[in-house]
Each structure stands twice: as structure tokens, then as C-alpha cells.
């Protein structure tokens, strides 16, 4: 078995500097400088602007590697870097042994002849990614589009360099993230020593999987010092398979056929248990040499279904033969400084997705191929993953060195991640096909109009080389049977004007940004519904206590320097204000504005999600932008940088329920749609009550309804004039509940006018601890309608519901769970001090928060 030594005790400095400082590895220059007080907190105030000098410098790290006699006695001694960011030269005892140029690749060097027994000097020099790539731009002769590269902030004017580096694109800035172009050792460094034989990689290829049986192939990449004969054995949950094999000297691939009867299948959340098998492999030979490797994977069949129909072409994931409506969000890196993301932060995100009734996250192409723990958690929680390759919103060079680097990057990352059952789709890039729109002169983002005909053709040929050749070849070679989609969004790979997506296409996936970027009304979410909505979104601010981690009281106004520095989407703050003026009343102060921005965002996303779900099976996916943040900021996230759920996250939880009600109004007809993602039919009782804001019953109706498996169908319609009668539409609420044996499956409220038209009184809300709950369950009651009730606790955690409507005579019980460390992301606990507000508290000057 290989012996491993993790290299620790590093120091660092600027190459031209004199003073060495202790370094934390994994880490980066920015976090090391911060740890020693050399720089101010990067996320605070406008400090980002003052730290742009760091990426113009060269930095070096040093460590002493103690090679013991035990390590030195092994035949092979390798130095392994699992992540270098990005342009790095590595020296052992003064001798250059490696030049790295890709953050997304690992690097392995045979150092048997370089390392001596005892202490050895290891030096890693990081060249400035800015200084490294400026000559590439000059050599190319023209700039390439990179919309989100904040080169001006970095002091580079229009010189957008992110496209040349195989490095996380968001490090150069994005419309929700800061510009911190990092350097450093961002994944562990180790020495590996071995002799005889070792297994590099074990892949459980799933040739055919269903409930009756599984045909698998165990494929091991194995390396031997010399020719060997032995037995290769694989075992999993009582099964064991083996065969005699002969190995030649060197590296080779060996295969073993595996068959299982009635396997436990891996299911996404809501459809079944995400069962995982542990496969253990070992190669043993008579000479006493042996090698082993293990993987954990789930057995499932996952297919991208694109069948032509009367309306276009379908686009959905079929899991184990079952069509799945994808519910979730887009994931970005959890921090601008990647090594600050702990396993607990990853668990909090994935557990939050599962608790929000999601079944899919899209790993967006401007970040990183995530850490193993991210995918392990998705496997565990039953969260499907749409995995982008790391290309986004830019055109890329196509020189031989760049393409070769991309090929190796793709092969390594597909190989690393291919055993994860959660990954159901690989996608080439984010938004590049539609941004360039090569086959439609009048479509796209205007990029191609900046180039002459020869340049256009060259740029497109380079695009095709990466996304239509290299990446699909890597998927096919390294993960046979996995599905690849060239770009999101896209209609199909037709090589004509029908290839490029738009908000009205009836095939492929859609990114709909008419609401927000084009200032279209929320109601347009109902008009632009595609086969799979892979992006759409609306911004809000974090809650006040998060904002105060980067701003002083004097900064608490919409157009302050700090608020503008923490709004990366240009006119974003004014857009929030404009939409709020359209749909809501004026907040009484800036703190109320922060809360109401979340209420506004929640209403926008509720409209979108419900529009998508009620069009099932025409539409089979809704992934809003975005799940999380990489720093504290006004953004589209449903969960802020500190992991605090916004109103959107609670709204998503309600809107993504497996059995859900949707109320909508077209002209004078009010409809109730019943949606079920479950695989079994059922039935229930639909109760409808029209209530005054004081809780008086004004109208009611009830009927038995069928809950049809994996269907959305209208179960109730009524003329609004008949429903309202003579009652004032600005002073009534419709409460619709779906019950099964008196248990409420789903409950939705409906208002007949926009929030700004509601005649709200200031509610008196009471909070009562439920006896015997040990302070974890509370009952809320109100004197008059309380719209958008918001609970907050001085203990970090989540409530079972929040940002809800509370009606007199309709008490609501709420559970609190503390955010915890370890295997349980949330644990029931006393909520501590709870504060309550509602929309009325935010718009009425005399209102005070209830505690």
C-alpha cells in the first residue's frame, strides 16, 4: 500500500520581499496576508478596491520535507500537488521539477532522484496571473469578450485576461462577486511512496441498471513495477467477484464484470432512498504485493430525454425510468477564497437544499469543479447535479497549448467525479452559445459585431474545438453513458440559426432574464415558460445583521459607496427600488427596505416557480439563480454568505413541495392547480375560504380532488366576481388548503391586488411556546392579517417556515432548528430571543418589532 506524507509547516512571502511569514496550506496569498494583519478584511466596506495590487506580484511558498528512511526505501517517491493556483514553478533542493498552468488539474512528479533522506527544501513560486497573461493578449492581437471580467477595477482598463488562464473565472469578478485574483496552494500537497503494485483509480461503470438487476464493470487503473500474476477481487454488501489476472510492468487498465440481482437503487430526494454501495477492490499476488482501492457510488440509470413532440422537443432527466421534474437552484462557489469553505459549510448548503424540497443543483461554469465533499453530500442527500465545465460568458483562445490544457483538465475532472450518482448531466459552458449566436446575425449579446469576418470564423472554430469536440470526447471516453449538453441555454446542436436559445424556444433549456435585466413585470414569468428553466432570478439584500458585517450605520443608504461596492450588477440597487415602487409600499427606513427587498424577491421567485411547475410535463425543470453567495452582498441568492436563509429560501421550500397547490388568475377566472411529483396517485379534500383581514369568513367551498402521480392539473376554477361578490378586493384573502384526513398537505394564500394596494393594519402578533417542546416549537397568532411575517433569532438556525401570511383565527406552529456542526446540519433547539415583524411593520412609521 502507498505511504503518504502530507506536507505542512509552510511559509510565504512576496518574491521581491525579504520577510517570510507562516502560511496556511491549503490557502492563498490573500488569506495569509489577512491572517497576519498585512491587509484589511477584504469583504468590509470598499476594501476590495484597495487590494488589487496583490495579483500583480509574484509570491513564493517554502516548506521542508523530511523524507524518512521508511519513505526513501520505497521504489517510487512522488510529489503530488492536488491544486496549484495557477502559474507555478516548483523546485526541490533548488532544482526545477514542475511548471504548472491550470488551477483545475493536479500535478504528480517522480522525485525519487531529487529527494534525499532527511530534510529537503521545497519551493513553489507563483507567477502573477496578470503579468503572465498580458503578453498573450498582445500576441492574439484583439481582445476576446469576457463580460464579467472586472478589469477596470483591477487597474487594467479594458484588458480582460480571465479567458487566458485556466483558473476560476469568478476570481476576476462577476455581477454578484468581487475581484480577487488569487494565487496559492489551494489543495493539499503530499509525498506518496510505493513499491510493487498500486491502484490509481477504481471506476464502477454502470452498463445496465434497473430494479431487477445491475450489470456493472469494475475498471481499475493499476500500475506494477514488474510483471505480476494475481487475483483481482471486488466486493460490495455481501457480493464478491474475482478473477485471475496477469499484469505487465507499467500502468494498465483491468476490468471485472459484476452482476447484482434486485439492487437497491439511488433515487433523488422525494422519489426514494439515495442508497449508496461501497465497492472494495484488492489485487493480491503470490509475491506478497497487494494493492487496494474503494469507491462509494449509487446504482441508477440517468438519461437526458429529448423527444420530439407537437410543441417542440422535451428536455428532462429520467431517473431509473421515471421522468423527474427538477427543482432547485444554481450553485456558485461558497467563498471568494475557496479554502475558507469547510465541510460544515458544504453540509449546510446541501442540507438546506434538501430541506427546501430541492432535488437538483447546477454547478455553474464560472466557479470550480467542486470539492469531493460537495458531491458526496449530494449523493447522500439525493440531490442531482447538473455539472458545467468551467467556462462562462466569454469566448476563449484556441491555440494548441490552451486546447491541450483543456483536454487534460476535462479528462482528469470527469475521471475524478464519474462515480458520483448525483451527477446526471455534463454541460460544456454557461451562456456562450446564446451570447455569440454565430448563426443569427441579429441575435446574441452583440459580441460578434466587434470582429471582422475572418476573426469571427476563427473565434467560432476555437469555440467548436472546445465545446463540440474536446469536452464531449472527454465525457464519452472517461464516463461512458453520461450525457453531455454543449451549452446552457441551447435549443439543439443543429449548426444553424435554430441552435441558439431565446425566451420563447420550445426545445432545449432557457435562461429567462426579461424580469430583472429587461425590467419586465413579474407577470411575464407566466408567459415565458420553456421545457427546462435553467436560469432566472431576482435580487435582494441580505438581512440587516449580515449587511452590518460590511457596513457602518453611516453607510446604510441605497446609494452609499459601500452599498454600491456590494452591488456588482450595475444598476441593481435602483432596479430593486424600481420594482418595489411598482409592487409594494414605501419602506419606512433603510432597514425596512432590506427586509422588504427579500419579500419582493420571494414574490418574484414564487411567481416564476409556480408558473414552471403548473406547466408540467411541458416544462420539466426550474433552477433559479442562485443558491448561495461567495461574499456578503446584494444578489440573487436565496441564502446569504453567512448561510442565513432569506425569504426566498423559505418560499422555495413551500413552492417546491412534492404535492403543491398553485393559484393563478387569468382575466376574471381564478384557477387552482394541483401538482404532484410523487410516483403514486392519491386523493384529498380541497378547502377554499375567502376571509376578511380580521378573519371573518366571507365565502367558502370544498370538494374531493384526485392527486395524480407526476401531473399538474387544474382542480378548481371560479369567476372572481362570483367569488368576491361585494367585498373589497383590497381587504380580503383567499386561503386554499389541500387536506388528507384532516392533515394539511399544502396551504396557499391569494390576494386580489398587489401588495401596494392592500389595506393593511398593524397586526398584534403573539408568540407562545408550546409546552413540552423545550422551547423548539412556538405558536403564532395575530389580531389582523399579517402579511410576510418574518421571524429572526439570535441563534443561528432556521425555522420550519418563515416569510408567511398569518390570518386571524388560523394559528401557526413553527419549529426552530439550530445550525449545527457534523453529520446533522440542523438540530432542534430553543430559538433563543425571537423577533417578529411583518410587511406592515416595515411600512408604518409608528410600528415596532414584536419580541
Angle (nearest 5°) at CA 539 between 533 and 540: 140
Contact 193, 211 (CB under 8 A): no
Rounded Cα gap, residues 125 and 184, in angstroms: 9
- Spatial CA neighbour of 415 closest among 202, 253, 197, 192: 202
Contacts of 389 (CB under 8 A, 6+ apart): 365, 410, 413, 426, 427, 428, 429, 471
- As a whole number of angstroms, the distance between CA 636 and CA 639 comes to 9
Identify which of 566, 655, 639 has the alpha carbon closest to the alpha carbon of residue 607.
655
- The whole-angstrom separation of Cα 506 and Cα 491 is 8
CB 67 within 8 A of CB 118: yes
| C-alpha dist (Å) from residue 346 to 83, 332, 333, 362, 608 | 19, 12, 10, 15, 27
What residues have CB less than 8 Å from 431, skipping those under 6 apart?
A: 392, 393, 487, 488, 489, 511
Distance CA 506, CA 307 (A): 12
For residue 92, how far is the Cα from the chain centroid? 38
Active site residues: 431
- Distance from C-alpha of 340 to C-alpha of 136, rounded to nearest angstrom: 31
The contacts of residue 565 (CB under 8 Å, 6+ apart) are: 45, 46, 48, 49
Task: Please tell me the distance from the alpha carbon of residue 456 to that of residue 378, in angstroms, as a whole number.
Answer: 40
Q: Is 573 in contact with 541 (CB distance < 8 Å)?
A: no
Helix 572-583 to helix 590-613 angle (10° resolution) is 80
Following CA atoms 337, 431, 413, 295 in sequence, which dihedral angle do they give, to the nearest 10 degrees?
90
Strands (E), 575-695: 621-624, 659-666, 669-676, 682-692
Size of the chain, expressed as the number of residues it contains: 851
- The secondary structure of 166-185 as a DSSP string is BS-GGGEEETTEEE----EE
Helix (H, G, I), strand (E, B) or coil at 281: strand
Peptide bond into 551 cis (omega under 30): no
Tell me how crowded residue 64 is: count the other CB atoms within 10 A of its CB: 13
CA–CA distance, 422 with 207 (Å, rounded to integer): 17
**C-alpha to C-alpha distances, 801 to 384, 522, 626, 830, nearest whole angstrom:** 24, 24, 20, 16
Residue 404 CB neighbour total at 10 angstroms: 11
The answer to whether 548 touches 542, Cβ cutoff 8 Å, is: no
Amino acid at each position: 500500500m502507498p505511504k503518504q506524507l502530507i506536507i505542512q509547516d509552510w511559509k510565504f512571502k512576496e518574491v521581491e520581499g525579504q520577510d517570510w511569514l507562516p502560511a496556511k496550506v491549503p490557502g492563498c496569498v490573500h488569506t495569509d496576508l489577512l491572517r497576519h494583519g498585512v491587509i484589511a478584511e477584504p469583504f468590509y466596506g470598499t476594501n476590495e478596491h484597495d487590494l488589487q495590487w496583490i495579483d500583480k506580484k509574484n509570491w513564493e511558498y517554502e516548506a521542508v520535507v523530511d523524507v524518512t528512511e521508511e519513505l526513501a526505501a520505497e521504489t517510487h517517491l512522488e510529489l503530488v500537488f492536488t491544486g496549484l493556483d495557477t502559474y507555478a514553478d516548483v523546485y526541490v533542493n533548488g532544482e526545477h521539477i514542475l511548471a504548472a498552468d491550470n488551477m483545475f488539474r493536479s500535478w504528480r512528479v517522480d522525485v525519487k532522484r531529487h529527494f534525499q533522506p532527511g530534510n529537503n527544501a521545497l519551493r513553489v513560486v507563483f507567477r502573477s496571473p496578470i503579468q503572465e497573461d498580458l503578453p498573450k493578449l498582445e500576441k492574439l492581437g484583439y481582445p476576446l469578450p469576457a463580460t464579467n471580467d472586472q478589469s477596470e477595477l483591477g487597474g487594467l482598463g479594458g484588458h480582460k485576461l480571465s479567458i487566458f488562464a485556466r483558473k476560476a473565472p469568478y476570481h476576476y469578478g462577476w455581477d454578484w462577486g468581487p475581484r480577487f485574483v488569487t494565487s496559492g496552494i489551494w489543495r493539499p500537497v503530499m509525498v506518496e511512496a510505493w513499491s510493487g503494485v498500486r491502484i490509481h483509480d477504481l471506476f464502477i461503470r454502470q452498463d445496465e441498471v434497473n430494479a431487477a438487476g445491475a450489470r456493472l464493470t469494475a475498471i481499475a487503473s493499476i500500475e506494477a513495477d514488474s510483471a505480476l500474476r494475481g487475483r483481482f477481487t471486488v466486493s460490495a454488501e455481501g457480493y464478491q467477484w474475482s478473477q485471475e489476472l496477469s499484469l505487465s510492468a507499467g500502468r494498465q487498465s483491468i476490468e471485472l464484470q459484476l452482476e447484482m440481482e434486485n439492487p437497491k437503487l439511488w433515487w433523488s430526494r422525494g422519489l426514494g432512498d439515495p442508497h449508496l454501495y461501497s465497492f472494495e477492490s484488492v489485487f493480491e499476488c503470490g509475491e506478497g504485493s497487494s494493492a487496494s482501492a474503494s469507491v462509494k457510488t449509487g446504482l441508477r440509470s440517468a438519461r437526458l430525454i429529448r423527444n420530439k413532440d407537437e410543441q417542440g422537443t422535451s428536455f428532462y432527466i429520467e431517473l431509473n425510468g421515471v421522468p423527474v421534474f427538477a427543482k432547485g437552484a444554481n450553485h456558485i462557489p461558497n467563498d471568494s477564497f475557496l479554502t475558507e469553505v469547510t465541510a460544515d459549510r458544504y453540509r449546510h448548503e446541501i442540507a438546506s437544499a434538501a430541506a427546501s424540497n430541492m432535488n437538483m443543483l447546477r454547478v455553474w461554469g464560472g466557479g470550480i469543479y467542486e470539492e469531493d465533499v460537495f458531491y458526496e453530500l449530494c449523493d447522500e442527500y439525493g440531490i442531482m447535479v447538473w455539472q458545467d465545465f468551467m467556462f462562462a460568458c466569454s469566448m476563449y483562445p484556441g491555440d494548441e497549448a490552451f486546447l491541450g490544457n483543456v483536454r487534460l483538465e476535462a479528462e482528469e475532472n470527469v475521471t475524478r467525479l464519474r462515480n458520483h450518482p448525483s451527477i446526471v448531466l455534463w454541460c460544456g459552458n454557461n451562456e456562450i452559445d446564446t451570447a455569440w449566436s454565430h448563426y443569427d446575425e441579429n441575435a446574441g449579446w452583440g459580441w460578434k459585431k466587434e470582429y471582422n469576418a475572418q476573426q469571427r470564423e476563427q473565434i467560432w472554430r476555437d469555440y467548436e474545438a472546445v465545446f463540440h469536440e474536446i469536452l464531449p470526447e472527454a465525457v464519452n471516453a472517461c464516463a461512458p453513458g453520461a450525457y453531455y449538453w454543449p451549452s446552457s441555454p441551447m435549443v439543439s446542436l443543429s449548426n444553424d440559426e435554430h441552435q441558439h436559445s431565446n425566451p420563447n424556444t420550445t426545445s432545449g433549456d432557457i435562461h429567462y432574464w426579461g424580469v430583472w435585466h429587461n425590467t419586465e413585470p413579474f407577470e411575464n414569468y407566466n408567459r415565458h415558460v420553456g421545457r427546462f428553466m435553467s436560469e432566472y432570478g431576482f435580487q435582494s439584500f441580505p438581512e440587516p445583521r449580515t449587511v452590518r458585517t460590511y457596513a457602518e450605520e453611516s453607510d446604510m443608504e441605497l446609494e452609499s459607496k459601500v452599498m454600491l461596492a456590494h452591488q456588482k450588477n450595475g444598476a441593481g440597487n435602483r432596479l430593486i427600488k424600481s420594482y418595489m415602487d411598482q409592487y409594494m409600499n414605501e419602506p419606512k427606513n433603510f432597514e425596512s427596505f432590506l427586509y422588504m427587498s427579500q419579500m419582493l424577491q420571494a414574490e418574484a421567485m414564487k411567481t416564476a416557480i409556480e408558473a414552471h411547475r403548473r406547466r408540467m410535463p411541458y416544462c420539466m425543470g426550474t433552477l433559479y439563480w442562485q443558491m448561495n453567495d461567495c461574499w456578503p452582498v446584494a444578489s440573487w441568492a436565496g441564502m446569504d454568505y453567512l448561510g442565513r436563509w432569506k425569504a426566498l429560501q423559505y418560499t422555495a421550500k413551500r413552492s417546491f413541495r412534492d404535492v403543491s397547490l398553485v393559484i393563478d388568475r387569468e382575466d376574471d377566472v381564478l384557477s387552482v392547480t394541483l401538482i404532484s411529483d410523487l410516483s403514486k396517485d392519491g386523493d384529498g379534500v380541497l378547502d377554499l375560504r375567502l376571509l376578511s383581514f380580521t378573519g371573518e369568513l366571507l365565502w367558502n367551498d370544498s370538494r374531493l380532488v384526485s392527486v395524480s402521480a407526476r401531473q399538474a392539473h387544474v382542480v378548481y376554477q371560479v369567476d372572481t366576481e362570483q367569488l368576491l361578490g361585494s367585498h373589497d378586493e383590497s381587504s380580503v384573502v383567499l386561503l386554499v388548503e389541500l387536506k388528507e384526513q384532516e392533515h394539511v398537505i399544502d396551504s396557499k394564500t391569494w390576494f386580489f391586488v398587489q401588495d401596494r394596494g392592500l389595506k393593511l393594519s398593524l397586526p398584534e402578533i403573539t408568540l407562545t411556546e408550546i409546552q413540552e417542546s423545550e422551547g423548539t416549537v412556538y405558536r403564532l397568532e395575530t389580531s389582523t392579517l399579517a402579511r410576510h411575517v418574518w421571524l429572526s433569532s439570535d441563534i443561528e438556525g432556521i425555522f420550519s417556515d418563515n416569510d408567511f401570511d398569518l390570518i386571524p383565527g388560523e394559528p401557526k406552529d413553527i419549529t426552530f432548528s439550530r445550525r449545527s456542526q457534523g453529520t446533522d446540519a440542523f438540530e432542534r433547539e430553543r430559538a433563543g430571543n425571537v423577533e417578529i415583524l411583518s410587511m406592515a411593520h416595515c411600512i408604518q412609521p409608528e410600528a415596532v418589532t414584536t419580541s
